[in-house]
Amino acid sequence: MVASSVLGFPRIGANREIKKVVESYWAGKTNADEVTKVAAEVKKSNWTELKQRGVTYIPSGDFSLYDHVLDHSAAFNAIPKRYHGLGLSPLDTYFAMARGRQADGVDVPAGEMKKWFDSNYHFLVPELDQSVEFKLNFNKPLEEFNEAKALGITTRPVVLGPITYLALAKASKEAKPEFEPISLLSKILPVYKQLLSELKSAGAEWVQIDEPILVTDKGANYEAQYASAYPELVAVAPKLLLTTFYGRLESNVNFIAKLPIAGLHIDLDRAHEQLDKTIAAISSTPIVLSLGVVSGRSVWKTDFAVAIKYAEKAISALGQDRVIIGTASTVLHIPVTLASENKLTEQQKDWFSFALEKASEVATIAAVVSGSQDAAVAAALEANRTSIAKRRDFEKNSDDSVRKRVASITADQYERKSPFATRLAAQKVLNLPKFPTTTIGSFPQTKEIRQARAKLGKGEISEAEYEEFIKKEIESAVRFQEKIGLDLLVHGEPERNDMVQYFGERLSGFVFTQNAWVQSYGSRYVRPPIIVSDVSRKAPMTVRWSEYAQSLTSKPMKGMLTGPVTILNWSFPRVDISRELQAQQLALALRDEVCDLEAAGIKAIQVDEPALREGLPLRRADWDSYLNWAGNTFKLSTAGVGDHTQTHSHFCYSDFDDIFPQIQRLDADVISIEASKSDMKLLSTFKHYGYSNSIGPGVYDVHSPRVPGDAEIQERLKSMLAFLDQSLLYVNPDCGLKTRGWKETEASLVNLVQAARWARETY
Ligand code: MET
């Protein structure tokens, strides 16, 4: 019999229960017991659903109230010093690490968040140094294993592997200069051994140990560490399934195959070409091969015929008992269930498969390749064949005008008319002071805004009433910015439910869901639109709002758009045409919008590309091709304007070392970047390469409600000026403020303006 497995499941609850309960806990409206109770219900429902769908290996230990990497740090006592001795409960210490804490005399910033591999999920970067005392504060996989067992469900606990954990960590401020987190391997192993042996004693047959670092270029550096650590772990652990996902192992498979592990999981959705090589590498070992044939990243139905072909190849080489049919990665990245969607047409519903449906898919494929004679399995197979055929048929329709326009893009459309220096002079029309202050676009999305949108959705208020409401919001955002003295204003984005969804809803080619939320970080979930056909702009999307906002003030107003690469990366893309072609279609639509904004008198236009980097392939060999088309599509969308129009772009990450030349190549007049939590390494990169255009490194963190003092911001500006030309420096927060409350937003921005005034007087 071929077994089936799901590597990890969304932990947000089918109705966003976890968001609701943790946010209410943070607001002091509920207690820790209630949080535990709701978490238990969500876990129970996940396990029960997977069991009912016939999945053999059901994950446990993958649940999280905020982030699974942070859970691991908390469990292993990797708690940075600044969170010690604050008199907080373990849960509050955990949330302080996640989001900072500023209350009752405690004032600590949050840890650094980074994107998890090439996804839009963010994890809390472990901060380590030589003095860390690893110990097992609690055994989360064991607790959840027992919790499921009490419900009569046997699970396969999930543990983040030691080498990936250390490889993802950063050196803390207290670390010695040459300190590398991986040097802690021998120190962390005893804790892993304790955790794994406790699982074994509790009766776990298998443990899934996640080592996705192996699909990155970095993975190859750790051959010696894998070779020394895994035999030690295997000696005390249940059977270990070493899981790799999101990419290809390449030559790492050779040293992995030599480890005494019981199973290896590979991602065939992202890298089906690695199947033959993997089979060859393990065929003379007893290793079980877990085939990731059902995507954990895409919402499209799996083509069973393709999955079966891979499975049969593996079975004929290894035998049924050595093959598992799995999701390619955790299905954390896709929404919980299609069953919650009642506005999709039957045709659309038939194209997709969300997390629970993917669970049924692995179970069905496993049954088919096990030779099941069950009528329900045969019917599911036949239904899949029909659905896939219908979709292929639909894909034959393309929008000729869009395809032709893409085919006739010319080289000059990628470039601005004049070089930066000429544009800088022309942009004096904006009348900005030295150290211009600005924000990244959004202001708090208050309860009132969300309610108004919900009422519009339910038909409780009219389109006209909603418009009036939004106009008032814009007006108050403008007045607020004038009052506190910001220089380059924004309209505040109150009309946007989400920076991608808003555009998707106004473009042809997208479909939307009601309830298809996906965790981005902590309690922040997004509802990515799905690209289903060729994309084009039906009508201007933002112009009237920007025009209206500009009409209220004599200060310059920044138009605000989401860039093509970000719309693509934060949507669920089509899988039948390339991402490049989808991005080009988006770029042409945005180019028209940018030109329309200019024509409407908007002098500065920001095209955000916060997701440019996360789309970077995990293997360096694939970078050039991606960066080339991704950069080109940004240029295509922005280069249609005159010299006097100032283009901006925003990036929510600070890892610029490797992609720097591409950022320069984008040739935006001003870029703003997330910088408050990274050290000055980022800025030294810009200095080192001699970045020539204007730049606003974020001066404070927006992911936390903490208010930065003006002295703190002055200090940041001071250190930035050691790296950057003062005539090119903009002053802004790290990112948009939509998730913040007004109180902290006002306090923080007042301090920011204060600090910029200080800089003007001082420099
Ligand atoms: N303009 C957007 C905002 O301010 C940019 C966000 S980047 C994640 O919210």
Strands 558-562 and 263-267: unpaired
Say yes or no: CB of residue 612 within 6 Å of ligand 1. Answer: no
How many angstroms separate the alpha carbon of residue 443 from the centre of ligand 1? 9
CA of 630 to the centre of ligand 1 (A): 19
Q: Ligand 1 atom 7: the closest Cα is on which residue?
A: 610
196 contact partners, CB below 8 Å, separation of at least 6 = 159, 207, 233, 236, 237, 238, 240
Is 703 assigned a catalytic role? yes
Q: Is 496 in the pocket of ligand 1 (CB under 6 A)?
A: no
Please return the burial class of 268, using the count of CB atoms within 10 Å of its CB with bins 0-12, 13-18 and 19+: buried
Pocket test for ligand 1, best of 545, 607, 613, 650 (most atoms within 8 A of CB): 650
Asked whether residue 557 carries a pLDDT value surpassing 80, the answer given is: yes
Q: Which two tokens stand for residue 595?
A: 């030109």
Computed over every residue of the chain, the mean pLDDT equals 96
Q: Is the CB of 652 under 6 A from ligand 1?
A: yes
Q: Are residues 352 and 514 in contact, defined by beta-carbon separation less than 8 angstroms?
A: no
Q: Which atom of ligand 1 is nearest to the CA of 496?
A: 9
Distances (CA, A) of 261 to 5, 288, 751: 18, 9, 55
The string of pLDDT tens digits covering residues 42-82 is 999 999 999 999 999 999 999 999 999 999 999 999 999 99
> What is the reported pTM?
0.93
User: What is the CA(500)–ligand 1 centre distance, in A?
Assistant: 10
- Condensed to tens digits (0 to 9), the pLDDT of residues 501-552 reads 999 999 999 999 999 999 999 999 999 999 999 999 999 999 999 999 999 9
* 616 CA distance to ligand 1 middle (Å): 20
Residue nearest to atom 6 of ligand 1 (CA): 736
Helix extents (H) in 219-332:
223-236, 252-256, 275-282, 304-318
Mutate to test the pocket of ligand 1, among 488, 491, 493, 654 (most ligand atoms within 8 A of CB): 493
Mean pLDDT of 582-606: 98
**How many CA atoms does the CB half-sphere of 321 hold within 13 Å?**
2
Share of the chain above pLDDT 90, in %: 94
> Ligand 1 centroid vs 442 CA: distance in angstroms?
6
Amino acid 37: pLDDT: 98
Q: Is the CB of 698 under 6 A from ligand 1?
A: no
DSSP 219: G
- Check: complex ipTM more than 0.95: yes
Q: What is the structure's pLDDT at 608? A: 98
Answer yes or no: is the C-beta of 296 below 6 A from any ligand 1 atom: no
Q: Tell me: the pLDDT tens digits for 173-194?
A: 999 999 999 999 999 999 999 9
- pLDDT, average across residues 17-24: 98
